[in-house]
Amino acid sequence: MSRFFANFARDQNGAISVDWIVLTAGLVGLAILMLGVFSDSLDVLVEYVRVQLTA
């Protein structure tokens, strides 16, 4: 059984998938954070564009 775990620990198959999952999760987290920070500014911008388009 310990031989199985040793082989599993040395196996590199799928390692790039884990890297991409971590990077993607980081980018999604950053996007959510940025949306939270700038949501008020976006509301003002959307309202300004709406007023300009209806005028």
Query: Residue 20 has what pLDDT?
Result: 92
As given in the structure block, the two tokens for residue 24 are: 């993607």
Tell me the pLDDT band of 6, cut-offs 50, 70 and 90.
confident
Q: Return the structure tokens found at 51.
A: 């007023």
Express as a percent the part of the chain with pLDDT over 90.
44
Whether the per-residue pLDDT at 23 is higher than 90: the answer is yes
CA distance 41 to 16: 37
Confidence tier at 32 by pLDDT (50, 70, 90): very high
Structure confidence at residue 38 (pLDDT): 84
pTM above 0.85, yes or no: no
pLDDT over 80 (residue 15) = no
